[in-house]
């Protein structure tokens, strides 16, 4: 008898646990992982002088913008974290996804309901003769408790819970992606604004220099050593540069307004004092290619949605199998409150039902085909996301390497242009060259100086974009995980910084 009871208990446990139909999930391969199985897994095509990150690197890059060493930028980035509205939207989406886990997991438990009712009945005195007359009114009180439970024989409910959990993890990665993008956008706007400050500082100095040059031509004209045309040329050069100086204010104002919106402030309530760009691109190790798949939150989000699509295939397949439900009802029934809760008033019923859909016009087949097509699309999206990530890394590594060489060349050009301007100015003072030579030298010198500032801006932006392409300080281990003890109440616990 003990063996029989054990066998029955085991069979009942197996029945309740059921099995899970559908494909077992495996992370799909990507073109990059396939390539680096055969290639040297430590090199980017355009790595140049960039050193490769080692697995032992323990630098905390959570607040990656601190590598630029600008306290003002650090302050603005911290303000964005707590005040940006788009970031709050992404956080709310994540909270919604967490709630859906609890919603789907509720299907793993029975539902219990209660529905008290009271009724009174008075038969008609003119009812048909074959019914027993009942001239006295009748009353009835009922307090039933209903219990319903669907046995998850084929894993449909478990698949649904799993899909909700994977969607929550993907949404958490979406939140990290939005945070990374917004912080990078703020850093770029800040660099653009400081670059505008540098351009304006340069133009202010140039206006002063051109004012001195205009005074020189005026003095030479008074002394009879220069024609009036020299004064006109100097005046035109000065006026043109003043226009450029004023025009910089438009661009600066736009970037200042963009920063204000990013940190959750109206543009009218925010301003930054001018400060020319004087930063230098930091050394950012790109990391070995295989690690990039673990450092990009958008890649992790795409991979989690592949897992979710895989669960949807199992859910669609479970619809082909019968559904087993258990139900029970118990409660009290009586004619008066005084006798309602007595044992004689107790009633109960227990039952089970097994249903199987025999014909649906191809609906389940269509649903299954749609789930498989959605899975294929998710895999393709995941692979495309990885390709785009590596492209972005390669683009910015190439930009930094090339711009580094260009910056050295540009500094040499600035020095040559300044030297030429000084030579032509001295020759003009001595009356050996016309003022047109000075005008040309001034134009070339200013163009090279402005280009020098612009190259620095582009190098800084390429550094920001490289950090963004590498996932910032994010890691795949930052995805929320299940906490078994607190899961029924809290769902998942966010580990994002």
Domains and CATH numbers, the chain: 18-110+154-321+363-493 (1.20.1600.10)
Closest CA to 405 of 43, 45, 46: 46
CB atoms within 10 A of CB 104: 19
More confident of the two residues 351 and 491: 351
Share of the chain above pLDDT 70, in %: 80
Confidence of residue 101 (pLDDT cuts 50, 70, 90): very high
Cα(64)–Cα(464) distance, integer angstroms: 9
| Mean pLDDT confidence for 401-429 | 95
Confidence of residue 205 (pLDDT cuts 50, 70, 90): very high
| Mean pLDDT confidence for 319-335 | 88
* Contact indicator for 290, 389 with CB cutoff of 8 Å: no
| Mean pLDDT confidence for 362-381 | 95
More confident of the two residues 56 and 413: 413
pLDDT score, position 37:
55
| Of the listed ranges 13-22, 295-304, 352-361, 482-491, the one predicted with least confidence | 482-491
Confidence of residue 189 (pLDDT cuts 50, 70, 90): very high
Closest CA to 141 of 346, 330, 332: 332
Confidence of residue 486 (pLDDT cuts 50, 70, 90): very low
| Average pLDDT of the residues of the chain | 83
pLDDT score, position 42:
44
What residues does 138 pair with on adjacent strands? Answer: 121
* Contact indicator for 15, 153 with CB cutoff of 8 Å: yes
Q: Is the pLDDT of residue 150 over 50?
A: yes
Q: Is the pLDDT of residue 326 over 50?
A: yes
| Mean pLDDT confidence for 225-238 | 92
pLDDT score, position 126:
63
Q: Is the pLDDT of residue 234 over 80?
A: yes
* Contact indicator for 264, 233 with CB cutoff of 8 Å: no
Closest CA to 257 of 189, 208, 209: 189
At residue 102's C-alpha, the angle toward residues 98 and 104, to 5°, is 110
| Of the listed ranges 20-34, 65-79, 171-185, 368-382, the one predicted with least confidence | 20-34
Confidence of residue 120 (pLDDT cuts 50, 70, 90): confident
The 3-state secondary structure of the chain reads: CHHHHHHHHHHHHHHHHCCCCCCCCCCCCCHHHHHHHHCCCCCCCCCCCCCCCCCCCCCCCCCHHHHHCCHHHHHHHHHHHHHCHHHHHHHHHHHHHHHHHHHHHHHHCCEEEECCEEEEECCCCCCCCCCCCCCCCEEEEEEEEEEEEEECCCCHHHHHHHHHHHHHHHHHHHHHHHHHHHHHHHHHHHHHHHHHHHHHHHHHHHHHHHHHHHHHHHHHHHCCCCCHHHHHHHHHHHHHHHHHHHHHHHHHHHHHHHHHHHCCCCHHHCCCCCCCCCCCCCCCCCCCHHHHHHHCHHHHHHHHHHHHHHHHHHHHHHCCCCEEEEEEEEEEEECCHHHHCCHHHEEEEEEEEEECCCCCCCHHHHHHHHHHHHHHHHHHHHHHHHHHHHHHHHHHHHHHHHHHHHHHHHHHHHHHHHHHHHHHHHHHHCCCCCHHHHHHHHHHHHHHHHHHHHHHHHHHHHHHHHHHHCCCCCCHHHCCEECCCCHHHHCEECCCC
More confident of the two residues 42 and 459: 459
Q: Is the pLDDT of residue 382 over 80?
A: yes
| Mean pLDDT confidence for 257-285 | 92
pLDDT score, position 4:
41
| Mean pLDDT confidence for 8-28 | 66
| Mean pLDDT confidence for 394-403 | 92
pLDDT score, position 398:
92
Cα(450)–Cα(447) distance, integer angstroms: 5
| Sign of torsion over alpha carbons 385, 388, 390, 392 | negative
pLDDT score, position 131:
53
Q: Is the pLDDT of residue 230 over 80?
A: yes
Instruction: Give phi and psi for 73, each to the nearest 5.
Output: -65, -40
| Mean pLDDT confidence for 282-297 | 74
pLDDT digits (tens, 9 = 90+) for 439-474: 999 999 999 999 999 999 999 999 999 999 988 865
Q: Is the pLDDT of residue 48 over 50?
A: no
């Amino acid at each position: 008898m003990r063996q029989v009871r054990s066998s029955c208990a085991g069979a009942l446990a197996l029945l309740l646990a059921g099995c899970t139909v559908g494909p077992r999930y495996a992370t799909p391969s990507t073109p990059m992982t396939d390539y680096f199985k055969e290639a040297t897994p430590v090199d980017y095509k355009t790595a140049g002088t960039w050193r490769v990150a080692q697995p032992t690197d323990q630098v905390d890059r959570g607040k990656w913008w601190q590598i630029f060493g600008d306290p003002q930028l650090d302050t603005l980035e911290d303000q964005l974290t707590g005040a940006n509205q788009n970031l709050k939207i992404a956080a709310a989406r994540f909270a919604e996804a967490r709630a859906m886990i609890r919603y789907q997991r509720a299907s793993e438990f029975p539902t219990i309901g209660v529905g008290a009712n009271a009724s009174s009945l008075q038969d008609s005195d003119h009812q048909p003769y074959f019914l027993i007359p009942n001239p006295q009114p009748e009353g009835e009180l009922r307090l039933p408790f209903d219990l319903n439970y669907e046995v998850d024989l084929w894993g449909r409910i478990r698949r649904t819970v799993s899909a909700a959990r994977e969607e929550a993890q993907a949404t958490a990665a979406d939140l990290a992606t939005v945070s990374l993008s917004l912080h990078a956008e703020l850093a770029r706007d800040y660099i653009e604004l400081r670059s505008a400050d540098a351009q304006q500082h340069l133009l202010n100095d140039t206006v002063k220099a051109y004012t001195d040059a205009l005074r020189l031509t005026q003095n030479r004209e008074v002394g009879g050593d220069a024609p009036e045309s020299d004064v006109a040329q100097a005046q035109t050069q000065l006026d043109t540069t003043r226009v450029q100086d004023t025009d910089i204010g438009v661009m600066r104002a736009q970037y200042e307004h963009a920063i204000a919106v990013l940190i959750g402030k109206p543009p009218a309530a925010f301003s930054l004092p001018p400060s020319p760009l004087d930063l230098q691109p930091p050394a950012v190790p790109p990391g070995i290619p295989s690690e990039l798949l673990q450092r990009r939150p958008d890649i992790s989000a795409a991979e989690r949605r592949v897992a979710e699509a895989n669960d949807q295939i199992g859910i669609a397949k479970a619809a082909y199998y019968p559904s087993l439900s258990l139900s029970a009802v118990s409660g009290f029934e009586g004619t008066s409150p005084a006798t309602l809760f007595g044992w004689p008033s107790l009633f109960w019923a227990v039952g089970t039902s097994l249903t199987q859909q025999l014909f649906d016009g191809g609906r389940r087949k269509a649903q299954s085909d749609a789930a498989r097509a959605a899975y294929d699309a998710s895999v393709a999206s995941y692979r495309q996301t990885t390709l785009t990530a590596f492209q972005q890394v390669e683009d910015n590594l190439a930009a930094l390497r090339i711009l580094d060489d260009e910056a050295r060349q540009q500094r040499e050009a600035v020095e040559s242009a300044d030297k030429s301007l000084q030579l032509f100015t001295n020759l003009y003072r001595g009356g050996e060259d016309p003022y047109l030579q000075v005008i040309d030298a001034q134009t070339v010198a200013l163009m090279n100086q402005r280009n020098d500032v612009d190259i620095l801006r582009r190098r800084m932006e390429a550094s920001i974009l490289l950090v963004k392409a590498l996932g910032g300080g994010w890691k795949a281990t930052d995805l929320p995980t299940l906490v078994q003890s607190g899961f029924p109440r809290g769902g998942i616990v966010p580990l994002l910084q």
